[in-house]
Structure 1
Amino acid sequence: MKRVARDSEASARRVTRRALLLGGGMAAMFAALGYRMRYLGVEQADEFRLLAEENRINMRLIPPTRGVIHDRNGKVLAGNEQNYRVVMTREDAGDVETVLNRLSHVIPLTRSDIADALDGLEKNSPFVPITVKDRLDWEEFSRVALNAPALPGVTPETGMSRVYPRDTDFAHVIGYVGPVSEKDFEGVENPDPVLRIPKFQIGKIGVEKWLEDTLRGEAGTKRIEVNHIGRVMREIDRIEGTPGADVHLTVDAGVQNFIQARMGEESAACVMIDVTNGDVIAAVSSPSFDPNLFVRGISNSDFRFLMDHDHRPMANKAVQGAYPPGSTFKMVTALAALEDGAITPETTFRCPGYYDAGGRKFHCWRRGGHGPVNLERSLMESCDVFYYETALKVGIDKIAEMGRRLGLGQRHDLPMSAITEGNMPDKAWKLERHKAEWRIGDTINASIGQGYVLTSPLQLAVMTARIASGKAIKPRLVRAIDGQEVPVEPAESIGISTSNLTAVQGGMVAVMNGKSGTARSSRIVAEGLQMAGKTGTAQVRNISAAERAAGVISNDQLPWNRRDHALFVGYGPAENPRYAVAVVVEHGGGGSTAAAPIARDALLRAIYGAVPPLEAYPSDQRGRMESLLNGLVLRGDDGRLPPASDT
């Protein structure tokens, strides 16, 4: 019995200890649970209330700020401006049509705006925000923000939009940006994710396109929290992107604007190159267009106007246009023959007004002929027969070789769109292209820049710079990227003897300053600033024998599109060349009357760094030039045109 009592006592003690341990554990557990409940229910109440409302965390890309494009002097050619916009996210909006209908009562939305928004929402992932409307004013932006609770999935945002402060002046050089299209993804294996942002804009033509990777930068990211109706509750964190690199070009905004204004309504092009290093100082194509229209969304009527205009404002004639160079090509024929030894500067041919090649007459522009002509006079008075004779002595292959040495028949590497190679034909080219043998008539036509020969204003400017310098000048358009100068490779000798270059240069000086020079009326009289040049006229129609016998119809009696192209190439100052220039005026008639005056004024603007002084012009022209120069509407340093009352 005593043993039973002892066992009962021990058992009771064990039960008591277990009860105490169990009770203590339960008390500790309830204490921890209570603390956790207090933490969740009091300290984290706001956080869990948001979660209870079905909030979500979204990751969004932050478009990078596009790099700014400047001219050589730091003037802005393409910049960015603040843009207020409204975006919508499909997964947060619910019934998107209902939300868009509500939004249309807050800000003006056209049927096209709504249709574009619906299309974008349908094509893109539910979590990708699409731009419904941009370029809102502050009042519209504020109304959207105030009505946000009634507009699930709709968010007002601020961003940057591209702007071109000098609009028409650099449209063909800079180009413009536009929304990414499916065509932009062709051939791209791993496209930048930022390109998937609806209505994200990239370069479409010109520098904007060819330096896209440099200008775009890298996108940033942000994490935002939205509630169950799609309203943004807060931004959790943000990682800023990397802005695009700023680019400085070689062009001079003042010179470009002056030439653009000087050309007026002509369908024309002008390229100016620094002879010392190949910098493109100006590349003008007229008429131009406003690239801001494309950034903002060009209307059908505006686009139709640009496409239907007979002067082709959308075409970049400076680098894309391919024209017969006419008599501006005569220096190529002359240098080929001089280098080959086929002629010397003293070689003389008699010009009776035509050249008879096996019974076929090839006429000189002067019906009665020039009589005995040597090299200098042939350039000064632009005698055609001298070059017919010269070309047949040297042959087309050597002429073509010289043309290529001077920069013709090749695509120059610049960040611009649709740069043409032109055409520098030879015997092999015709056989391959036309399956036909080269003929004497082909050589005669090519000798004066007609027939199969095609050149662009850019190529003609390069040719002129090489003749002026004796070096293989290469054009360049980019001067610096993010403050780092782009190195200039020293130009090598062009490989033409100094005496032969001097002979041709002398003929070009005579063109401008000789008593019978074809461009004498466009000479510069300021001391030390004489220029050298060559006029050209390129036929765009055939002249029949009957018309020639009766008298060739003058250009001003023909419809505009049947008139000859007017060309001019030149450089200055002649004694110490700094700038080379080429001008083409489509259907302008004679190069001496339509193209040379523009080139002369452009050279003076570059040399003086301001509107040319009247003292640079012949005295009998100063009254007319004063009226012309005062009538030009030029931009200020800020890129703005003067008020209408001041013009």
Structure 2
Amino acid sequence: MRRTQKDTEESSRSITRRGLLLTGAMGAMVAALGIRMRYLQIDQAEEFRLLAEENRVNVRLIPPTRGLIQDRNGKLIAGNEQNYRVVITREDAGDVALVLNRLSGLIPMTAEELQSTLDESMRNSPFVPVIVKDRLSWQDFSKVGINAPALPGVVPEVGLSRIYPLGYDFAHIVGYVGAVSKKDLEEQVNPDPVLRLPKFQIGKIGSERWMEETLRGHAGTRRIEVNSVGRVMRELERKEGTPGSDIRLTMDADLQNFAQARLGEESAAVVVMDVTNGDLLCCASAPSFNPNLFVRGISHTDYAMLTGNDHRPLANKAVSGAYPPGSTFKMVTALAALEAGVIDMGYTVHCPGYLEFGGRRFHCHSRGGHGRVGLTKSLEKSCDVFYYDIAQKVGIDKMAEMGRRLGLGIRHDLEMSAITEGIMPDRAWKQARHAQDWRIGDTINASIGQGYVLASPLQLAVMTARIASGKAVRPRLVRMIDGKELPVPEAEPLGLEPRHLQGMRQGMWDVVNAPGGTARSNRIVDPTMVLAGKTGTSQVRNITAAERASGVISNSQLPWNRRDHALYVGYAPYDNPRYAISVVVEHGSGGSTTAAPIARDVILAALGGGRPPLAAYPQDQRGRISTMLEELPLRDPETGMLSDSDRV
């Protein structure tokens, strides 16, 4: 069949369109290739020239600047200082041992340090820098920089290192940082890449650990040009990371320093808490330690001295120490009995010096007894028999319920390490823990804070704050993050009868201010600062019937670790409570003689905002107190430095 002229013309036009499309596509490809060739040959010529000359472009992480930790008034507790250091990269160094040997001729390095660096470089990826030496002097740092061409893979760097300018004062609260360990990485589900940098430091204990992610920030990156021998030629690009957040605690650095100094050589703890909002102003544990030693790498000798000390300087006794609360627990027993309705405010008991039950005598601390005592007098005189009696009426379960309502037997959630829950026992607890039934004798012992009952100084401060305020005040440690005030939840009422709480407060006032009170010698005479409190002495050993018959051995005649613990809780001012305090002195013998004087001095420092005012002490004590205060190794409130005579 012959094609018509029309068909021929249509076919011709179709072929022409295809040709044009093919020609256009080919032209586009050629243009794209030309543009790409121009990009590679002209725009990227410099980078390819560097690669051709055996140079490389490496991407390295920039550690973020760690956030600062400050006290409530902005005083620096944990900061960062400039640190001159030298790092080596195995991939760039080639023969690491040879390079390290050369380096040791420029800066002081022991054989142990050389071997440790060599081992670490072999353990890590070849392109990961390893810190050879840090905290170099400027002179040694300069030597390395001048001789860099002869030290392939060695780079002098200026970094930041953690420093704790207030040293011992906040060691237990803030803690310290240390190099990331294998265990630290294993605890992370998806570890931040910056944690894999050799000797990168993270929080190990205290607030440094519990607020690690907030303080750490996010790493930056830098692209650097290095030549064939590993020497850094120049920095091509730098992207700064995000610094960690600054944290402001509720703590008062001056009060904390005063408390630490006042505890002196004792193995003890002090907690001061704001009754109105739960702010912890002081949380001191003695003896303390220098956290800067851990940042720099503590020696075996120094660590052995800390772990071998029977006063346990590494333990935060304020939150992790669990002690029999002794007579400071009597308010719990009394409130439990009052709220249960088994006694009223006018209830009295005759105290002959002991209570007989089940063929056993439970003794009062006063061998001759107190005669007939009511509620407030039982606190004032710290009569044990009164509490033996009412405990049998109310029972341990009600006592335990009241203890927990007042903050005992509860782990308070704070940004610190090793916070104990203590023990607030009841029938179910003993069955679960010891597979034994609870006995009346257990209740009698618990009524005066002995037996199974254990509480920390933090818990005792919370208990006191709740009695003083009538509210379920919760302790808090962090006040601000990056300048933003954290909200303080409104404390709920405890739901206790107001007149019962007032009875406890009156009894605590009598303890300190009544003529026969156990803490009378530790009263405050300034009417605007009147102190109310309760002394406590808890036994750490059993006293046999034979010893009682022949005469109880005095604490002064016993080895230190067998003496009674000394305790004190209190609050001030009495008529307008602001601060609650608890003091525990391990093996301090007596609450009234050892713990109460410390508590008075510290709470006066809190109320006065500085050194305790002498006018607040009884006239006949002012000379002795003045001498004692002058001898305390306190920091200068402006500079934060100790005097030359007190600096260690």
Counterpart position of 2:254: 254
Q: Which amino acid aligns with 1:304?
A: A
The structural deviation recorded for 1:202 is 0.1
Counterpart position of 1:67: 67
Q: Which moved more, 1:484-493 or 1:105-114?
A: 105-114
Counterpart position of 1:7: none
The structural deviation recorded for 1:156 is 0.2
Q: Spell out, residue by residue over 1:116-175, the C-alpha distance to the aligned partner (whole angstroms, 9 max, x if none).
A: 211221111111111111101111110000000010000000011000000000000000
Q: Spell out, residue by residue over 1:32-81, the C-alpha distance to the aligned partner (whole angstroms, 9 max, x if none).
A: xxxx99x989x999867644431111110000000000000000000000
Query: Equivalent residue of 1:235, what SS?
Result: strand
Counterpart position of 2:433: 433
Q: Spell out, residue by residue over 1:484-523, the C-alpha distance to the aligned partner (whole angstroms, 9 max, x if none).
A: 1110000000011100000110000000001010001110
Counterpart position of 1:640: 641
Change in CA separation of 1:333 and 1:645 when aligned onto 2, cut-off 3 Å: closer
Query: Equivalent residue of 1:285, what SS?
Result: strand
Distance 1:512 1:364 in 2: 20
Q: Spell out, residue by residue over 1:549-580, the C-alpha distance to the aligned partner (whole angstroms, 9 max, x if none).
A: 11111111100000000000000000000000
Distance 2:623 2:483 in 1: 45
Distance 1:187 1:634 in 2: 40
Counterpart position of 1:86: 86
Q: Spell out, residue by residue over 1:455-475, the C-alpha distance to the aligned partner (whole angstroms, 9 max, x if none).
A: 000000000000000000000
Task: Describe how 1:176-191 pairs up with structure 2 within 5 A.
Answer: 176-191=176-191
Counterpart position of 1:200: 200
Q: Is the 8 A contact 2:380 2:517 kept in 1?
A: yes
Counterpart position of 2:491: 491
In structure 1, list runs of 5 or more residues that go unmatched.
1-35
Distance 2:191 2:148 in 1: 34
Q: Spell out, residue by residue over 1:409-456, the C-alpha distance to the aligned partner (whole angstroms, 9 max, x if none).
A: 010000000000000000111111111111111000000000000000
The structural deviation recorded for 1:383 is 0.3
Q: Is the 8 A contact 1:333 1:447 kept in 2?
A: yes
Q: Which amino acid aligns with 1:642?
A: S
The structural deviation recorded for 1:112 is 2.2
Q: Is the 8 A contact 1:468 1:577 kept in 2?
A: yes
1:159 aligned to 2:159? yes
Distance 1:257 1:645 in 2: 13
Counterpart position of 1:76: 76
The structural deviation recorded for 1:187 is 3.4
Calculate the TM-score normalised by the size of structure 1: 0.93
Distance 1:550 1:440 in 2: 28
The structural deviation recorded for 1:387 is 0.2
Q: Which amino acid aligns with 1:542?
A: N
Counterpart position of 2:338: 338
1:424 aligned to 2:429? no
Counterpart position of 2:309: 309
Counterpart position of 1:112: 112
1:290 aligned to 2:290? yes
Q: Is the 8 A contact 2:633 2:646 kept in 1?
A: no
Q: Is the 8 A contact 2:50 2:56 kept in 1?
A: no
Q: Is the 8 A contact 1:288 1:314 kept in 2?
A: yes
Distance 2:155 2:647 in 1: 44
Q: Which moved more, 1:477-486 or 1:634-643?
A: 634-643
Query: Equivalent residue of 1:136, what SS?
Result: coil
Counterpart position of 1:546: 546
Q: Which amino acid aligns with 1:301?
A: T
Counterpart position of 1:128: 128
Distance 1:478 1:155 in 2: 39
Change in CA separation of 1:549 and 1:225 when aligned onto 2, cut-off 3 Å: same
Q: Is the 8 A contact 1:287 1:311 kept in 2?
A: yes
Counterpart position of 2:269: 269
Counterpart position of 1:588: 588
1:534 aligned to 2:526? no
Calculate the TM-score normalised by the size of structure 2: 0.92
Query: Equivalent residue of 1:130, what SS?
Result: strand
The structural deviation recorded for 1:638 is 2.8
Distance 1:64 1:646 in 2: 33
Q: Which amino acid aligns with 1:210?
A: W
Query: Equivalent residue of 2:135, what SS?
Result: strand
Q: Is the 8 A contact 1:337 1:394 kept in 2?
A: yes
Counterpart position of 2:103: 103
1:359 aligned to 2:359? yes
Distance 1:200 1:355 in 2: 62
Distance 1:99 1:639 in 2: 43
Distance 2:266 2:345 in 1: 37
Query: Equivalent residue of 1:524, what SS?
Result: coil
Q: Which amino acid aligns with 1:245?
A: S
Q: Spell out, residue by residue over 1:92-121, the C-alpha distance to the aligned partner (whole angstroms, 9 max, x if none).
A: 000000000000001011122212211221
Q: Which amino acid aligns with 1:370?
A: H
Counterpart position of 1:453: 453
Distance 2:234 2:351 in 1: 87
Distance 2:152 2:581 in 1: 60
Q: Which amino acid aligns with 1:361?
A: R
Query: Equivalent residue of 1:536, what SS?
Result: strand
Q: Spell out, residue by residue over 1:253-293, the C-alpha distance to the aligned partner (whole angstroms, 9 max, x if none).
A: 00000000001000000111000000000000000000000
Distance 1:92 1:583 in 2: 58
Counterpart position of 2:28: none
Q: Which moved more, 1:363-372 or 1:112-121?
A: 112-121
Q: Is the 8 A contact 2:535 2:591 kept in 1?
A: yes
Q: Is the 8 A contact 1:78 1:164 kept in 2?
A: yes
Q: Is the 8 A contact 1:555 1:563 kept in 2?
A: yes
Counterpart position of 1:143: 143
Distance 1:511 1:382 in 2: 8
Distance 1:149 1:206 in 2: 44
Counterpart position of 1:212: 212
Distance 2:249 2:555 in 1: 39
Q: Which amino acid aligns with 1:309?
A: N
Q: Spell out, residue by residue over 1:328-369, the C-alpha distance to the aligned partner (whole angstroms, 9 max, x if none).
A: 000000000111111122111000000000211000001111
Q: Spell out, residue by residue over 1:379-404, the C-alpha distance to the aligned partner (whole angstroms, 9 max, x if none).
A: 00100000000100111100000000
Q: Which amino acid aligns with 1:644?
A: S
Distance 2:407 2:41 in 1: 78
Distance 2:41 2:358 in 1: 107
Task: Describe how 1:349-388 pairs up with structure 2 within 5 A.
Answer: 349-388=349-388
Change in CA separation of 1:95 and 1:542 when aligned onto 2, cut-off 3 Å: same
Task: Describe how 1:548-567 pairs up with structure 2 within 5 A.
Answer: 548-567=548-567
Counterpart position of 1:622: 622
Distance 2:174 2:238 in 1: 32
Counterpart position of 1:30: none
Query: Equivalent residue of 1:271, what SS?
Result: strand
Task: Describe how 1:475-486 pairs up with structure 2 within 5 A.
Answer: 475-486=475-486
Q: Which has the larger radius of gyration?
A: 1
The structural deviation recorded for 1:186 is 2.3
Distance 1:646 1:412 in 2: 35
Query: Equivalent residue of 2:61, what SS?
Result: strand
Query: Equivalent residue of 1:189, what SS?
Result: coil
Query: Equivalent residue of 1:238, what SS?
Result: strand
The structural deviation recorded for 1:528 is 2.0
Q: Which amino acid aligns with 1:374?
A: G
Q: Which moved more, 1:47-56 or 1:104-113?
A: 47-56
Distance 1:237 1:49 in 2: 18
